Amino acid sequence: MTYVAGMVAAVPAADKEKMLAHAQGAAKLILEFGATRVTDCWGDDVPEGKVTDFFRAVKAEKDEVILFSWIEFSSRAVYEQVFEKMMSDPRMAELGDMPFDGKRMIFGGFDVLLDTSA
C-alpha cells in the first residue's frame, strides 16, 4: 500500500517563483531516490478558522501563503530509504535554503487509509 509524507509550511507570497524553482529541483531528486509522486500546492482558498486552521498551525504571518505538499512512496521502507538519501546526497544541499522558515513547517508520514479516484 502507498505511504505518504505530508507537509504544510508558510511561504512569503513574494517568494512564489523561488518556491517553485526549489520544489522543482527537490522533486527531481526525490523521484530519482525512489518516490513515485511529488506534489506541491500553493494556497488559493485557505480559510481562517475560529479555533484552528493551517495559518495557526504554521504561525503564518500576514504576507505568507500556505504551501501544502505531499510525496508518495510505494511503502514505508521506500520512504525511509528516500529520506536517508535526501539527507546524505550533496545535491540536496546544493538546492540551497528552503524559501520558508523550516522551524514552522509541520510534516509527518502516513499510512494510506483510503485512496479513491473518479
**Would you state the cell numbers that stand for residue 27, as one nine-digit string?**
522533486
Average pLDDT, the chain: 96
Question: Which is it for strands 64-73 and 3-12: parallel, antiparallel or unpaired?
Answer: antiparallel
Q: Grid coordinates 513515485 are at which residue?
A: 36
CA distance 22 to 40: 11
Confidence of residue 96 (pLDDT cuts 50, 70, 90): confident
pTM: 0.92
Which of 116, 102, 20, 23 lies closest to 70 in space, CA to CA? 23
Amino acid at 11: V
Amino acid at 81: Q
**Would you state the cell numbers that stand for residue 25, as one nine-digit string?**
529541483
Confidence of residue 117 (pLDDT cuts 50, 70, 90): confident
